[in-house]
Each structure stands twice: as C-alpha cells, then as structure tokens.
Structure 1
Amino acid sequence: MKGLMVQGTASSVGKSLVCTAICRLLANEGKRVAPFKSQNMSSLSIYTKDGLEISVSQALQARAAKTSYLPEMNPILLKPNGNMETDIILLGQKVNKMNAIHYREQFFEEGQKLIQTSLKMLSDSYEYLVLEGAGSPVEMNLRERELVNMRVADMADVPVLLVANIEYGGVFASMVGTLALLPETQRARVKGIIINKFQGDIALFQDGIDFIEGYTGVKVIGVIPYFPNELEEEDGIAKSSAAASDDQIDAWTDHFKKYVKWEKIVDIFEVGN
C-alpha cells in the first residue's frame, strides 16, 4: 500500500477537498484508492448501503475515488448532540454517549486498536490510501492522546502534506509555527506544503513561497486560488456535501491539478518516508 496524509494548520483550510481531488486524480489513472479519516467530529453523516453511518467527507472522497464507501474509511465518528455529550459511532454503529473528558480517558487504547485494524483492512484491499487529519497537529493540550493527526501518520508510516488557508492572513506564522511545534521525527514526515484559498495575482506571491521554502526547508507544491464550490468543508458549520455531483467533483479536481505540482504528489506517494 502507498499512502499519504493531508494535515492542516487549522480547521477549514481545505484538507477534505485536497483529499477529494487526490482521490479522483488517482482513480482517473486507474488506481485502486481509498480515503481514510480515523476520527471525525461532525454532525454530518450518511449511511452506507449496509446501513452503517460514516461522515459525509469520507463518503464524498470515496465517490471521488470511484469506490463504495465503507465504515473502515471513518472508523470513529463523534456526533455532538448537545448538553456537552457526543454520540460515539464505531465502524458505523452507535455504541455509546459520553462527554469529552470521559471519551479521552476511556477510549484512547481501544481507539488506537480500531484505527490500526481499519488501516490494515483498507491496506489489504487498495493500492493507495489518502488519509485526512483534523484541525491542527499541534494542539498542544490534545497531542498526548490524539487519534487523528501525527499519531495516525506514525501508525500508517506515511508522508504528510501540510495545507494552510491564506484567505484571512497569518499563513506564514501558521506554517512556521506548526512545523516548529512538531517533534523532529514527525516534522520530517512533512514533504510538501499547499497554500489554499489564494486571492489575487499568484505571481506576486513568489517572495512568500521563497520565504516559506527557505525558512522551513519544505517545498511549496501548490498555491490554489479560491474556488467557489458546493463541496462544503466538514469542520465547523456546513451543509452536507454527499450529494455533490460528479461534475462538481471533476470541476474542483481540474482546478486543483491546475495549481499544484501533481507529479510531486505522485513522487511523495512513491517514495513515502
């Protein structure tokens, strides 16, 4: 199995859409590819043909990959239901309800085993895995028991693309700060940077690219202009994107490929870590 993980400097930077495009591009090349997100915190879900519940973002990515969506693609789904409690859905089935503190204390070991089992199942069935992180990999109060970013990259032993949103400013600090706060072994996993939601003349951003590459030692492999679309982000408040058409997936994918160095992403898959 060849794999790659897409992580972000924050929520809503475009991780889900980057994964969607990568899945579609690999599928268009005839590759057997599957998406994977170990743990989602989202109220947006959809049912598989077997009546099992997973997040809409992995369902969308599976459609982009031209494959059926499976519960192993999103083994842990956390659905907030108010009153500081969350429904715990494992491999598509609701098993419990608990608050965040109890979840972190009681579920960490079981969660790791479930993630490893799901990764193995998908690795045995597909040539390529496109993994998605959540939020930021350097939420320092959560790192010791996180189940969705660098710990999963370590489990799967895959390289990482880091995505940042330039729309609201602060992209240099977010990139440099994220890499600086990662332990050295995990920082070494980051093989490329994507700047998303750019507005303006990309040619005027070359000095910014030069700074990021010179300061971090990581290549910027894409600067993607803002792209209005119906493929909503999953983090925060969003509508379901599961009903997006193939034409919408293809339009986003074409836009993505126009502004990223696709051959570099392919090389990262091939070389790995």
Structure 2
Amino acid sequence: MTKHIMLQGTSSHVGKSILTTALCRIFYQEGMSVVPFKAQNMALNSYVTKDGDEMGRAQVAQAEAAGLEPFVEMNPVLLKPTGNACSQVILMGKAVGNMSAREYHKGYSLKAFDTVKEAIRRLEERFDMMVIEGAGSPAEVNLKANDIVNMRIAKYLNAPVLLIADIDRGGALASLVGTLELLEPDERALVKGLIINKFRGDVTILQPALDFLEEKTGKPVLGVIPYLPDLGIEDEDSVSLDDKKTQAKDKVNAPIKIAVIQTPKISNFTDFDALSKEDDINLYYVKEGQEIGDADLILLPGSKNTTEDMLYLRDSGMEKALNEAHEKNIPIIGICGGYQMLGEKISDPLHTESDNDSVKGLGFLPMETTFVEKKLTSQVEAKCLSWEFLGEKLSIDDLFGYEIHMGTTKFTKEANHPFMITKRADKDVQVAEGMINQEQNVMGAYIHGIFDNDKYRRSLINILRKRKGLEALPVSTNYAAAKQAAFNRLADTVRQNMNMEKLREILQEA
C-alpha cells in the first residue's frame, strides 16, 4: 500500500517545494520507491518531459531528487499566469486554453480534479511513497470550496499533513496557530506536525516558542530547519528572484558580469542558474529603475506574454538602455520570448497571449515572429554549428535542451544559425535553429536549458574572458553533479534538524 506525506504551508514561499525535495531525497537514499506530487502548480518556470508534456519546474527538481525522470503525472495541472488575473491552463502537459481566475476557480478546477485523481491512481500503482506538496495556504477561506491542491487532496488520500511556517519573514507562530484555527476540525486532525523553516540563530533561544506551539495546538514541532543560502536547487517562480539578487552581491568581484533583464512576465529564468554557479560569473537581474551597468553580456529571458513584456521594455525606458548597450557593442543573447523580442516585429493575430495584434520588436535581428494556436513542446538534442560570436568560433556537439513556444519565426534577411537541432522528441531531424546578426554581437534561439551544457557554457564564458584580456579556463563545473550534491546537502540538513523517528511514527500510523 502506498504511503503518503503532505507538506502544506501557512503561505506561499515558506519552503514547501524545498522540503518536499528534501524528503524525496531522504526516502530515495533509504532505498524507497518515492515520487513527488503536486496536483496544481502556478508558475512561469516550466519544463518539457520526454513525452513532450509541460509541467512545473519544482516537480522536476523533486523528481531528480527522487532519482526519477520527470513525467507529467507528478503535476497534472499547471497554471501559467498571462496577466490581468488570467492564466493559461495546462492539463496533463497540454494547453487547454486561457481562463480568468473566476472561470478557473468557479467552474473548471473541480472538473480538473477528476484528472488529478487519475494521476494519483497511476502513481500509486508504481510507487511505495508519495511526497505531496500543497500550494499557498490551506486556510484561504475564499478559495477553499474549489481548491484541489491542499486539504481536498489530503482528505482524498487521508494523508498526514506537515504544516510549514517561514520564521525568516516573521510571524511564524501566529501563522501556524492562525492557520490551524481556520481549518475545519477534520482538516485540523490531518495535521500531524509543525515545521519551522529558514531559522537563523541559536535554536535553544527558540525553545520557549516551540513549547508554546505544542501546548497551544496539540501538534508536535517536528523540526526547526536552518536558513540555507544558495541551495543550488532550481527555484519555482519569480518570487525567489530577490534571493538571487542577494546571492549576486556575494560575487560582486567576479571578473565577468552578466545582466538578466527582468520583465514582469519573465519565465524559465532557471535557464541561467548554471551560469550563476560559475566562480568567475556575477549574474544579476535588472528591472525598471535599475542600471544594466558595465555588463559583459546581457540576457533576455523567456516570457509568458512576449508582446506585453516588449511594451514594458519600451515604456519603462529599458529599450533605450538596451539600444545604448548595443551601441557600445555589449553582446546580447535572447532565449525563447527574449529571442522573439530581438526581432523586428511580434504578431499575435489569434490573441493567444494578449490583446495586442502586433508589436514592434527591438530590431536587433532581421526576423518577424507570429504566434500560432498550437504550442511546440519537445525535448531536443542539437549541435553548435561552426559559428562566430564576438569574432570567436564555437563548435560543439551533443547539446541538449527543450522547446516551449507558440511563435513561428521567419527571417527577413539571410540568417546565420547558431544551432542545428538533430533530434526532436526522440526523432532524428535536421532543423536550423536561432540566429546571429552580421556583427556577431546579438544572438537568439528557442532552446531552453542550453546553458546547462557544461562545455557550451564554459566556451561562451571564455569568449567573454578573452574579450577582457583574461585567459580561458577549462570546464570546472559539472552542473548535473552539482545539483546532485545540492540534493544530498539539503537532505543531510533536514535529516539532522527534523525528528525523523517521529515522522516515521506518523507514516506508520497513517
């Protein structure tokens, strides 16, 4: 019989995803067949599975921690906000349309719950343990009637719940007590333990508060998890970008500076996590009112609403800043939506993303993009053709990544393509991909995850190093191995700071 443990939070961003990842790793290390699960995820960071299905990035990290290849049953419902209280709804990895918050919560969510239950059934057939993540807070009284990700799941599975509070943001005790107070008696009974997360300092000083919590709630405090900076594990959504800015300050003296333009609908910023792990890189995010500075490279990330983000660049003055940087010969690379913005025009005749029929692009690349109804989602293998960037040649085989886009791009002049896709969704193909301008200082492509490739990442960094008169460095960061080490570090920390014996008792009693 499959065992279940569920992690819910007093609010968003209290550490549910990370602690779910930790338990997945702990159970995996103990030889269990364990799988992560989140019924409904709202995030702009997504991933494409081998089957071409789209799912939340947090469940991908959890799957990796559990020693699994990600598959869509781990996250059957994904909501990707497009703006104006509207989201694109992804059901079992496929887009089913855009819905307003009211349309989804008042009509569609409970219909989607049938699909959620089927995903659970399939997981229970294959795995001994499910580590389940909730979303936001289970005590949102205005949403509870149609909620399919918190207590509805816990009650459906009779799963024991661990309730998490973030003490770093303050008010943790009140959050825990208040959340329990707002739950119905049968929901409160499912909460079997409390966790204080992101604690800094001497835990003995906190003991009176822990004693109070246990006495007040009748629930045991299972652990006080310390604050862990720079975890090295991919983040769920843009709310974590403030953490990344803090980390960038720690590398202010790194010789190579890379600026990422942060737009309101930024998506898949995890594309750049591997770059931030390199010792000689200071990667930082720039938004309205902030300076690009003396960057050696500017990155334009993906976007869930490309035309709106392009208008944001124009209205905020960031387009002017990008033009000035371009005139200074600072190189610019765009990925997916960022690639589309580098072109001359972006058209959305079917209004798949917004109400904008057509928006003028930055004009750095001679190309035009038109959005179509069907989204392309596939894993790809590629090779880096023998092309020049900033006067240096680059040629690398055996690259991997994935595509998530709805735009079809046509070139208005002869194009120099940086990549050749050799395999798409396990089928052999020969598809030229991306574009580099004639001046060799602007480049774009649709391939997400391209910087995860160690040799490609280091080769591009070395081009930037040579431009500054610095010697090239060998590949020293194995990004995949670094992620595995981060999972182990996280698991060790949680194991040391959580009452694992009590947790096992809770699992046995369930």
TM bucket normalised to smaller = over 0.9
The equivalent residue for 2:181 is: 180
Q: Conserved in 1, the CA contact under 8 Å of 2:164 and 2:195?
A: yes
* C-alpha distance in structure 1 between counterparts of 2:135 and 2:214, whole Å: 24
Higher helix share: 1
Give the conservation status (yes or no) of the 8 Å contact 1:35–1:58.
Answer: yes
8 Å Cα contact 1:24/1:64 also seen in 2: yes
2:166/2:197 contact within 8 Å kept: yes
Greater mean deviation of Cα atoms: 26-35 or 102-111 = 102-111
Residue by residue, what CA displacement relative to the aligned partner does 1:21-71 show, whole Å, maximum 9, x if unpaired? 100111111110100000001001011111111101111101111112111
**Does the 8 A contact of 1:167 with 1:199 survive in 2?**
yes
Contact 2:105 2:143 in 1 (8 A): no
Query: Which has the bigger relative contact order, CA under 8 A and spacing at least 6?
Result: 1
Between 238-247 and 18-27, report the one with greater CA deviation: 238-247
Corresponding position: 1:262 with 2:503: no
Question: In terms of mean alpha carbon deviation, does 83-92 or 186-195 score higher?
Answer: 83-92
For residue 489 of structure 2, what is the aligned residue in structure 1?
251
Q: CA RMSD in A?
A: 1.5
| Contact kept in structure 1, 2:44 and 2:237, CA below 8 Å | no
The 2-side partners of 1:67 and 1:270 are apart by: 25
1:169 aligns with 2:170: yes
C-alpha separation in 2, matches of 1:204 and 1:179 = 24
What amino acid is aligned across from residue 31 of structure 1 in structure 2? Answer: M
String of CA shifts for 1:127-176, please: whole Å, max 9, x gaps: 00000000100011111111110011111211100010001211111010
Q: Distance in 2 between matches of 1:233 and 1:10?
A: 16
Secondary structure of the equivalent of 1:163? Answer: strand
Q: Which has the larger radius of gyration?
A: 2
SS in structure 2 at match of 1:158: coil
**Alignment pair present for 1:271 and 2:509:** yes
The residue number in structure 2 matching 1:88 is 89
TM-score of the aligned structures, taking structure 1 as reference length: 0.96
Give the Cα separation in 2 of the matches to 1:69 and 1:148. 19
Q: CA 1:154–1:236 in structure 2 vs 1: closer, same or farther (change >3 Å)?
A: farther
In the other structure, the counterpart of 2:348 is none
1:119–1:156 CA contact under 8 A, matched in 2: no
Counterpart amino acid of residue 49 in structure 2: T
Residue of structure 1 in register with 2:29 after alignment? 28
Kindly indicate whether the alpha-carbon contact (under 8 Å) linking 1:12 and 1:233 is maintained by their aligned counterparts in 2.
Answer: no
Q: Matches of 2:107 and 2:503 in 1, distance apart?
A: 37
Contact 2:110 2:148 (8 Å CA) reproduced: no
Unaligned 5+ runs, structure 2: 241-268, 274-448, 453-481
Q: Which has the higher strand share?
A: 2
1:5 counterpart residue number:
6
Question: Quick one: distance in 2 between partners of 1:236 and 1:193?
Answer: 27
1:68-87 correspondence runs (5 A): 68-87=69-88
Greater shift in the superposed pair: 118-127 or 80-89: 80-89
Match of 2:227 in 1: 226
Deviates more, 1:89-98 or 1:79-88: 79-88
- Cα distance in 1 for residues equivalent to 2:68 and 2:502: 25
Greater Cα shift, 133-142 or 260-269:
260-269
C-alpha distance in structure 1 between counterparts of 2:188 and 2:3, whole Å: 20
2 CA distance for matches of 1:250 and 1:52?
A: 28
SS of corresponding position for 2:106:
helix
Q: In the TM superposition, what is the alpha-carbon distance from 1:237 to its structure 2 partner?
A: 2.4
SS of residue paired to 2:233: coil
| 2: CA distance, partners of 1:264 / 1:68 | 30
Uncovered stretches (5+) of structure 1, i.e. residues with no partner: none
Q: CA deviation at 1:245?
A: 0.9
Retained in 1: the 8 A contact 2:40–2:75?
Answer: yes
| Distance verdict in 2 for CA 1:271–1:113, change over 3 Å | same
Deviation of residue 85 (structure 1)? Answer: 2.2
Q: Is the 8 A contact 1:54 1:92 kept in 2?
A: yes
CA-CA distance at 1:235 after TM superposition: 5.1
| Segment of structure 1 superposing worse, 235-244 or 146-155 | 235-244
